[in-house]
């Protein structure tokens, strides 16, 4: 099937199937890849092209920070496999997107794709005989490869049985109930949510020393706004893993590039406090637990979380370890609030330090912490999850958050 019209017709028949019905973004992706394959045979498609031309991402899209294209391609492969194992079980032609590329492969069911990745169909006669011979060699090669892989896997398992078992199990497990309940609203919206991570304004140079920008004395100095903390980096990684398990993708942007137009039209996940994630100062934010600078004392200049309406037994201020001392304790806010547009939500995950921010994200991406949070909120179904604000205490050991617990919680009125 080398005729362009016939190939595109096959694609249209597929996207009209029951399996892909309603998956508008996947249908759009498949049409784009098929069109590119017939118009530019042998020319690979770049991840950046797909992001900007198919999904409308902006020119600053960075595939290293945003895995959206990879996630969507994985979802498309799964849907195609589902189609050909069900309503397309008797189709003579198969459409695939082989792993490791974004090239569409179309071939007759009984034959194989040419090694060059072009659209190629084999027919009866000599070509079919060559294909059969190729299958023999392929099976032999695959068998040898599989045998070697099994030996290596067994050797690895014997050396690290617990790790091997945990890794294999993690790769097949579906997201747990707490993950599904808490993240359903963000993972099932019409658009992927934005993750906005903090990148504070600094002055100075990395090689000579940097410090936070001070408007009073640094008015004319160039600002560096492309640095962020270790906690924010690990936080984005954790979120990416959770959303991949939910078969959804994320859009990631640093705070200094974020606009209020984005805030009006999307669900948002803010990573980092308003002291560094400056956009948080301009949109709906927390009311019960707010960030402020400590004016005097051993904590002077540090961020703290102020409890605006302390309940019996609660602290009025949540202070991290004083400066110049190794951090052993921090506090962080975990809050779900309404966005600028009431139909959208904001999730704020922010610590006094980058370690607290990391812990806040871990709190909503790990099953045991989420289960405790949902229990405290009285939530057992996604429809019951309403706006809330919470403070967590974070125990830190050797620069790593190791344990967290809720120390204050507010259910907000709608």
Q: What is the pLDDT of residue 135?
A: 45
Q: Higher-confidence residue: 359 or 62? A: 359
In a domain, 388, yes or no: yes
CATH of the domain at 34: 1.10.10
Last residue of a domain, one of 108, 139, 157: 108
Confidence band of 195 (pLDDT split at 50, 70, 90): very high
Q: What is the pLDDT of residue 121?
A: 37
In a domain, 390, yes or no: yes
Mean pLDDT of 97-109: 82
Confidence band of 165 (pLDDT split at 50, 70, 90): very low
Q: What is the largest CA-CA distance in the chain?
A: 88
In a domain, 13, yes or no: yes
Q: What is the pLDDT of residue 130?
A: 47
Q: What is the pLDDT of residue 181?
A: 95
Q: Higher-confidence residue: 115 or 231? A: 231
Beta-carbon contacts of residue 321 (< 8 Å; ≥ 6 apart): 327, 328, 329, 330, 396
Tokens of 382: 């996604």
Confidence band of 9 (pLDDT split at 50, 70, 90): confident
- The answer to whether residue 379 scores a pLDDT higher than 90 is yes
Q: Higher-confidence residue: 203 or 382? A: 382
- The answer to whether residue 35 scores a pLDDT higher than 50 is yes
Residues 258 and 357 in one domain: yes
In a domain, 144, yes or no: no
Q: What is the pTM of this model?
A: 0.59
In a domain, 134, yes or no: no
Residues 219 and 84 in one domain: no
Q: What is the pLDDT of residue 414?
A: 63
- The answer to whether residue 160 scores a pLDDT higher than 90 is no
Residues 208 and 302 in one domain: yes
Percent of the chain with pLDDT over 90: 27
Confidence band of 198 (pLDDT split at 50, 70, 90): confident
> 113-127, 199-213, 361-375 — which is least confidently predicted?
113-127
Residues 224 and 90 in one domain: no
Q: Are 25 and 73 in contact (CB under 8 A)?
A: no
CA 323 from chain centre, in angstroms, equals: 33
Confidence band of 110 (pLDDT split at 50, 70, 90): low
Residues 272 and 391 in one domain: yes
In a domain, 117, yes or no: no
CA gap 289, 285 in Å, rounded: 10
DSSP class of 314: -
Beta-carbon contacts of residue 149 (< 8 Å; ≥ 6 apart): none
pLDDT digits (tens, 9 = 90+) for 264-317: 778 999 998 776 655 655 566 889 999 888 888 777 777 889 999 999 989 999
Q: Are 178 and 370 in contact (CB under 8 A)?
A: yes
The closest of 232, 230, 222 to 198, measured between CA atoms, is 232
pLDDT digits (tens, 9 = 90+) for 311-360: 998 999 998 887 667 889 999 999 999 888 888 899 999 998 889 999 99
Residues 402 and 311 in one domain: yes
Residues 181 and 292 in one domain: yes
The closest of 396, 271, 277 to 335, measured between CA atoms, is 271
Last residue of a domain, one of 108, 127, 162: 108
Residues 368 and 229 in one domain: yes
Mean pLDDT of 5-27: 81
CA gap 25, 55 in Å, rounded: 8
Domain that holds residue 54: 4-108
Tokens of 264: 């009006």
Q: Could you report how far apart the first and last alpha carbons of the chain are, in Å?
A: 57
Residue length of the chain: 414
Mean pLDDT of 59-64: 82
Residues 101 and 182 in one domain: no
CA gap 186, 48 in Å, rounded: 24
In a domain, 87, yes or no: yes
The closest of 103, 104, 106 to 121, measured between CA atoms, is 106
CA gap 188, 183 in Å, rounded: 9
Count the domains in the chain: 2
> 59-68, 250-259, 279-288 — which is least confidently predicted?
279-288
CA gap 243, 179 in Å, rounded: 10
- The answer to whether residue 127 scores a pLDDT higher than 60 is no
Mean pLDDT of 155-164: 47
Mean pLDDT of 213-234: 81
Confidence band of 114 (pLDDT split at 50, 70, 90): very low
Last residue of a domain, one of 108, 129, 144: 108
CA 293 from chain centre, in angstroms, equals: 31
- The answer to whether residue 144 scores a pLDDT higher than 70 is no
Residues 237 and 353 in one domain: yes
The closest of 211, 238, 237 to 223, measured between CA atoms, is 211
Q: Which of 81-95, 176-190, 364-378 is modeled with the greatest confidence? A: 364-378
Q: What is the pLDDT of residue 128?
A: 43
Residues 77 and 219 in one domain: no
Q: Tell me the backbone φ, ψ of residue 118, rounded to 5 degrees.
A: -80, 165
Beta strand residue intervals within 138-284, DSSP E:
194-197, 202-205, 209-212, 251-254, 268-271
Q: Token pair 């707490």 is at which residue? A: 178
Residues 397 and 271 in one domain: yes
In a domain, 306, yes or no: yes
Confidence band of 191 (pLDDT split at 50, 70, 90): confident
Q: Higher-confidence residue: 367 or 66? A: 367
Mean pLDDT of 200-215: 79
Q: What is the pLDDT of residue 275?
A: 67
Arithmetic mean of pLDDT over the chain: 79
């Amino acid at each position: 099937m080398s005729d362009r019209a016939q190939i595109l017709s096959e694609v249209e028949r597929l996207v009209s199937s029951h399996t892909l019905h309603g998956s508008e973004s996947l249908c759009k992706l498949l049409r784009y890849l098929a069109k590119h394959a017939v118009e530019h045979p042998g020319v690979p498609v770049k991840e950046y092209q797909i992001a900007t031309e198919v999904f409308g991402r902006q020119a600053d899209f960075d595939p290293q920070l945003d895995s959206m294209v990879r996630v969507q391609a994985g979802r498309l492969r799964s849907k195609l496999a589902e189609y050909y194992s069900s309503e397309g079980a008797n189709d003579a032609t198969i459409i695939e997107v082989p792993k490791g590329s974004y090239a569409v492969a179309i071939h007759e069911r009984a034959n194989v794709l040419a090694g060059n990745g072009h659209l190629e169909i084999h027919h009866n006669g000599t070509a079919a005989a060559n294909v059969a011979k190729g299958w023999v060699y392929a099976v032999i090669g695959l068998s040898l490869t599989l045998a070697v892989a099994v030996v290596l896997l067994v050797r690895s398992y014997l050396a690290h049985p617990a790790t091997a078992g945990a890794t294999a199990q993690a790769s097949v497990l579906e997201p747990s109930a707490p993950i599904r309940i808490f993240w359903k609203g963000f993972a099932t919206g019409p658009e992927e949510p934005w993750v906005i991570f903090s990148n504070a304004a600094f002055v100075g140079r990395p090689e000579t020393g940097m410090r936070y920008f001070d408007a009073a004395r640094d008015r004319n100095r160039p600002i560096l706004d492309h640095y962020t903390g270790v906690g924010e980096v690990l936080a984005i990684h954790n979120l990416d893993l959770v959303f991949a398990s939910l078969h959804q993708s994320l859009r990631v942007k640093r705070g200094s590039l974020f606009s209020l137009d984005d805030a009006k039209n999307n669900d948002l996940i803010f990573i980092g406090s308003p002291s560094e994630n400056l956009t948080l100062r301009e949109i709906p934010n927390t009311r019960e637990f707010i960030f402020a600078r400590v004016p005097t004392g051993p904590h002077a200049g540090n961020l703290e979380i102020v409890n605006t309406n302390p309940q019996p037994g609660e602290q009025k201020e949540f202070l991290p370890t004083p400066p110049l001392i190794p951090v052993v304790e921090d506090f962080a806010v975990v809050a779900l609030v309404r966005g600028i547009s009431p139909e959208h939500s904001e999730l704020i995950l922010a610590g006094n330090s980058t370690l607290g921010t990391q812990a806040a994200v871990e709190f909503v991406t790990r099953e045991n912490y989420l289960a405790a949070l949902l229990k405290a909120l009285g939530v057992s179904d996604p429809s019951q999850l309403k706006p809330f604000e919470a403070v967590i205490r974070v125990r830190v050991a050797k620069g790593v958050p190791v344990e967290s617990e809720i120390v204050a919680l507010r259910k907000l009125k709608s």
